[in-house]
A and B are shown apart, each in its own frame.
Chain A
Amino acid sequence: MSDLGKSSSGLFVGAFLGAMLIYACAFAGEAPSEDSPATGELHIEGGGITNLTLESEQGQHPRFSAPGEILTLPAGKYRLSEVALEGGYTCPTYLMPKEQGQWITVAPGQPATLKVGAPLRQVVRVERRARSMILNYELHGQAGERYVPATRSGPPTFVVYKGEREVASGDFEYG
């Protein structure tokens, strides 16, 4: 009787595990159920990123340290919130162009793209104020987002040429 009991319980466990294995194999590759949310890919076009913070439509702020080229996210709408680059350069929300503030839809099977980060472009925006020329130094990222350095050491420099002749040069000053 005890032998019979042992063999029947072993049979039951074996049958149960077998059924589970068949079930797992049968449903492998199908869409996940409602319990596991759908995910999608966000391709990052740009480099040098040490920290990337997104904002979801639900108001969450997922943060990624040293994100690779592809982020896997729960399906939904996201937009860029903050970026930090190597060397301590950061781009807060108010320095992002309007296009980067728009929502990006992340959906399964439809990879979305986000342009952000290096290579950076050094740009001088010129204004005239009476007799003075105001030179504004800006660092632009992939999508025109502007970066500010974490430290104020080693300010950028400039040279002004008239034709081939250098007429002025100097260091920019942090405001």
Chain B
Amino acid sequence: MCSYSWRVPFHACGELKIVPSNNLGALGPTKGEPTLYTWHWYYCVPGMALWIVLVLAMGVPRANRTPGVLLILVPVLGVYVVWLGVARLLPFGASDNEVFAMMVLSLAVGTASLWLVGHRFADGSWLKMLIGALAVAVGVAFVGTLSFGFGLGGETAQFVFLVSILTAAVVLGYALAGWMLRGRYRPFRLIVLLSLGTIAVSVVGMFLLFAVWSALSGEWPSMLVQILIYLLIAGLVMGTCVTLISLSFVLIGLRSRLFRPRLLACLRLQSATENPVPAA
């Protein structure tokens, strides 16, 4: 009927009582039934589990225990700050913006986790590396969705699936770029192929999401062509956003002594100036 989105301030955390009120005339009392709800303090920290995952990924692997690892915070915080600015311009409500914030932060931390632990799969086969990277990215997307408190319902399943597809697009974008470069590291070509690959996988992912969701629900829309056009547009828009997030890591990572060899090792690329050395 009607609703209100209240950004709960930190000082209001605790046991809350919400009382509605409306003049119903002879139809009922003016004051409604009080609803009790406990608002925990950690609800006020958005995606706290994601930040914990990021700190663990930065600190647990020995190879990351170097000051250079802090560089990974630059794209993560940069993406988040840019999002906060963009969110002010979007015509959505606070509730919708929370969903987008969850998606953006999950994608950023998921990509950061790939850079932080992905090198551990570098010495295996392509398939092993791909499955490992997908597991890391999708796992972080799952944690991200849950940490934003959307519960375990159908809505969460949709978000997990959507964010998983977008994070998988990041992984597959790297894989496609690495495969198409055929062993030779060329920075500009890497960036172009990575962008095109990520967008292409995002578009395919949107169609896949629609097909799986329709098959599970058993309802196929009548205006199929129109829906497919919308999905194409959504895939292109989301793919572009994911690419921008991914590129922010690539641009920082390729300038880092710690992360650049990792990327080259994972993509099996040989630089003209250096040999990729997988970190331990």
Is the pair A148, B1 in contact by a Cβ cutoff of 8 Å? yes
Interface pick from B40-48, B112-120, B229-237: B40-48
A86-B25, A123-B32, A148-B1 given as contacts; is B20 within 8 A of A131 (CB)?
no
Q: Are A86 and B27 in contact (CB under 8 A)?
A: yes
Chain B residues with CB under 8 Å of A121's CB are 28, 32-33
Residues of A within 8 A of B102 (CB): 130
A48-B26, A122-B24, A137-B20 known; A170-B4 Cβ under 8 A? yes
Check: A37 CB closer than 8 A to any chain B CB: no
**Total number of A residues with any Cβ neighbor in B under 8 Å:** 49
Q: Cβ of A48 and Cβ of B27 under 8 Å apart?
A: yes
Q: Give the number of residue pairs across the A-B interface with Cβ within 8 Å.
A: 167
- Asked whether, in the complex, the Cβ of A126 is within 8 Å of the Cβ of B37, the reply is yes
The residue on A at minimum CB distance from B6 is A133
| A interface: dominant SS | strand
- Within the assembled complex, what's the spacing in Å between the Cα atoms of A161 and B5? 16
Q: Is B149 within 8 A of A130, CB to CB? A: yes
Residue A175 at the chain B interface, CB threshold 8 Å: yes
Given A158-B19, A160-B16, A161-B19, A128 and B27 touching (CB < 8 A)? no
**Is A27 engaged at the interface, CB distance under 8 Å to the other chain?**
no
A98 at the interface (CB under 8 A from B): no
Q: Are B2 and A155 touching (Cβ within 8 A)?
A: yes
Q: Which residues of B contact A124 (CB under 8 A)?
A: 18-20, 32-33, 35
State in angstroms the CA–CA spacing of A167 and B14 once bound together. Answer: 11
Residue B255 lies at the interface, judged by CB distance under 8 Å to chain A: no
Number of interface residues of B (CB under 8 A): 46
Q: Is residue B123 contacting chain A, with contact meaning CB distance below 8 A? A: no
Give every chain A residue within 8 A of B28 (Cβ-Cβ). Answer: 118-122
Contact in complex: B35, A87 (CB < 8 Å)? no
| Contacting residues, chain B, for A55 (C-beta < 8 A) | none
Residues on A with beta carbons closer than 8 Å to the beta carbon of B24 = 87, 120, 122, 139
B214 CB → nearest A CB, Å:
21
Bound-state CA distance A149–B32 (Å) is: 16
Q: A173 and B12 in contact (CB under 8 A), knowing A120-B27, A122-B28, A158-B20?
A: no
Are B8 and A157 in contact, CB atoms less than 8 angstroms apart? no
Contact check: which of A122, A133, A172 meets B37 at CB < 8 Å? Answer: A133
Q: Chain A residue with minimal CB distance to B147?
A: A130
A128 to B44, CA, bound (A): 11
Identify the B interface with A (CB < 8 A): 1-9, 11-12, 14-29, 31-33, 35, 37, 39, 43-44, 46-47, 94-95, 98-99, 101-102, 148-150
Q: Return the 10 tightest CB-CB contacts between A and B, nearest first.
A: A122-B32, A156-B22, A120-B28, A130-B98, A172-B2, A118-B27, A161-B17, A128-B149, A167-B12, A119-B28
Pairs across A and B, CB under 8 Å, 22 listed:
A47-B26, A86-B27, A118-B26, A121-B28, A123-B35, A129-B5, A130-B101, A130-B149, A131-B44, A131-B98, A133-B37, A133-B39, A134-B4, A137-B1, A137-B2, A137-B4, A158-B4, A158-B21, A159-B19, A167-B9, A172-B3, A174-B2
Chain A positions within 8 Å of B, measured between CB atoms, are 47-48, 85-87, 89, 118-126, 128-139, 146-149, 154-163, 167-168, 170-175
- Contacts A121-B28, A162-B12, A175-B3 known; 15 new A-B pairs at CB < 8 A: A47-B27, A87-B27, A118-B27, A121-B33, A122-B22, A122-B32, A123-B33, A129-B99, A131-B44, A132-B95, A133-B5, A133-B39, A156-B32, A158-B20, A160-B17
